[in-house]
Amino acid sequence: MKKVFLAALVFSIAVSIPAIGMAEKVVTLGIYQEPENLNTYIGVQTVITYVHRPFAEYLIDVNDRGEYVPVLAAEVPSVENGGVSKDGLTITYKLKKGVKWSDGQPFTSADVKFTWEALVNPKNLVKSRSGYELIESVETPDDYTAVVKYREYYAPYLTRFAPVLPKHILGKLENMNDAPYNRMPVGTGPFKVTEWVSGDHITMVKNPDYREADKVKIDKLFFKIIPSREVGIAQIQAGDIDGVWDLIEAQIPMMERNPEVSLCLSSALVSERLIMNHSTPVAPNNGNPDYPHPILADVKVRQAIQYAIDKQTIIDKLLYGKAQPGTTEIPDGWAHNPNVKSTEYNPKRAMQLLDQAGWKPGSDGIRKKGGTRLRLKITTTTGNKLREMVEQVLVAQMKAVGIEFYIENVPSSVLFGSWSNDADRKKGRYDILMYTTGPGIDPHQQYEGYFHSKNIPTVANGGSGYNYTRHRDAELDKWLDLAGKAPSMEKRAEAYRKAQERVAQIVPHIYLYRRVNVHVFRNNVKGWKPNGYGIIDAVETWNVADWYVE
């Protein structure tokens, strides 16, 4: 009997193993925001990009090394391969063959043309038409060729058509603002949306029409809508979900103590920085670059402030050592200048520069010059504990070299307010601002906007620029103009590298540290790769086709 029982037991186990192997592979991801829709051209939330990456695809994307890679396009168009005309006005996209939408319909160049038509259609309430409004025509000589012709050169042309929209779904509608597609979209990616229960979850299943369906190892993605990051942490620790989207740096230590989860950390392209006003903050001439700031207009003072900052201490003590010191406006990627390093912490050099600039220590240690006290206001957003702690560290570090920083914070709605709302940032009524900003994978809009002298907010331009430091530098303008006009990506990259060197010399901004994208997965979820880049936003679902479950 014992032998019979053991044989039966072995047989039972043997036949059960294939059943376990055939079990549905499901990954549940916690998101603390519910998307308003899944159409990134209309919706503005970052979570939309995170949720849409599994089903939506771009002509060109960016990998984890910051390189442009073809997705729906067969190759990245360039001057060298004939995809970009010498004047940069004509971009020819050769499309991959055999691509299907998740409803089985073929993807063709007509979808590329329709995407442009939809984005310039005034009836569609899209959040931005940048670049698309400069396109004169999109020609489709065959199903696998789209020829995009611009009226004037648009430097970040590789970032357009991200994603492509399906003409056969949206082409017959008067507008796409309330289209059913926005909640139940059709895409060309490895997954397709099958269900959206408001306030609870969004379900996606493996797309059988995906051109590389055989390599997709996950059967189902389940986006669980949760109340907060903290709830997500509790649920992943309990094993109820497999991943949590978008944590903050302060939550890293708690996650590191859990051996059952892995942190997915990537350095973002955005940097926390100090923005220093070169013009007087005092009325009636505030914001006018013809009236220099009594302290910060001197480059030696700006350099001294930079030398007095111990960036690594801020990172180690407040960011748990997970961030990288700030370097330049383009901290990574194809246009980064590796020769521009993070500035050293050198308080002795800071004091030498202040001495040279005529600022002498007073009886209380704070420097003075011609009766003016070396006192500067630093402002950031209220309610941000990390920034408030950084300010306290900066106050102490400045005091050590004879500079007095005092803190006066305001709500984000006030700090980032518009010209019409009389915001201090726009009108130049500040000394030093601290916040995070940075470029996308193509830095042109950000770099020109923040650093070209033509983008100083004024009455004449209605405050449309965002060169908030109000610096004017002809050499920097020259490099930014070249970077915005050269059709060759290598020539553009070289111009941006020169611009980074010039910014390091004149110090309109001080880069404190790069922000960190923080996501968490349970250890059984494999294949994900940190990626700080992105055409729209950097999100960790960018390579979901490579994920698998152990």
Three-state secondary structure readout of 71-103: CCECCCCCCCCCCECCCCCEEEEEECCCCECCC
What token pair was written down for 502?
Answer: 């010039």
Low-confidence ranges of the chain (pLDDT < 50): 1-21
Amino acid at 529: K
Instruction: Give pLDDT tens digits for 215-265.
Output: 999 999 999 999 999 999 999 999 999 999 999 888 899 999 999 999 999
Q: For helices 347-356 and 299-307, what crossing angle results, to 10°? A: 160
Q: CA-CA distance, 301 to 550, in Å (whole number)?
A: 56
Residue range of the domain that includes 486: 270-515
Q: CA-CA distance, 372 to 6, in Å (whole number)?
A: 93
| 3 state SS for 244-256 | EEEECHHHHHHHH
- 218 with 274, same domain: the answer is no
- 294 with 314, same domain: the answer is yes
**Among 141, 137, 157, which residue's Cα sits nearest to residue 79?**
157
Neighbours of 281 (CB within 10 A): 20
**In this structure, are residues 150 and 157 in contact, taking their beta carbons and an 8 Å threshold?**
yes
Coil vs helix vs strand at 499: helix
Please name every residue paired with 103 in a beta bridge, in sequence order, or none if there are none: none
**Among 285, 220, 233, which residue's Cα sits nearest to residue 520?**
233
**Among 403, 476, 467, which residue's Cα sits nearest to residue 433?**
467
In a domain, 176, yes or no: yes
CATH classification of the domain holding 486? 3.10.105.10
- DSSP class of residue 279? B
Query: Hunting for tokens 């494999």 — which residue is that?
Result: 526
- The torsion angles phi and psi of 238, rounded to 5 degrees, stand at -80, -10
Residue 15 Cα distances to 9, 10, 20, angstroms: 10, 9, 10
In a domain, 281, yes or no: yes
- Indicate the pTM of the whole model: 0.79
- 216 with 291, same domain: the answer is no
Long-range contacts of the stretch 42-49 (C-beta < 8 A, 24+): 42/124, 42/125, 42/126, 42/127, 42/176, 42/177, 42/182, 43/127, 43/182, 44/127, 46/246, 46/537, 46/539, 47/245, 47/246, 49/534, 49/536, 49/537, 49/539
In a domain, 254, yes or no: no
- 535 with 459, same domain: the answer is no
Q: How many structural domains does the chain have?
A: 2
How far is C-alpha 304 from the chain's CA centre?
Answer: 30
Query: Hunting for tokens 């033509």 — which residue is that?
Result: 454
Per-residue model confidence (pLDDT) at position 413: 82
Cβ neighbours of residue 543 closer than 8 Å, sequence gap 6 or more: 64, 527, 528, 529, 531
- 205 with 283, same domain: the answer is no
In a domain, 257, yes or no: no
In a domain, 4, yes or no: no
- 511 with 543, same domain: the answer is no
- 155 with 290, same domain: the answer is no
- 477 with 539, same domain: the answer is no
Coil vs helix vs strand at 265: strand
- 488 with 537, same domain: the answer is no
In a domain, 500, yes or no: yes
CATH classification of the domain holding 217? 3.40.190.10
- 109 with 191, same domain: the answer is yes
Per-residue model confidence (pLDDT) at position 22: 65
- 203 with 299, same domain: the answer is no
In a domain, 237, yes or no: yes
- 109 with 164, same domain: the answer is yes
| Bridge pairing between strands 367-369 and 372-373 | antiparallel
Residue 50 Cα distances to 129, 524, 540, angstroms: 21, 20, 7
In a domain, 253, yes or no: no
Coil vs helix vs strand at 500: helix
Per-residue model confidence (pLDDT) at position 14: 35
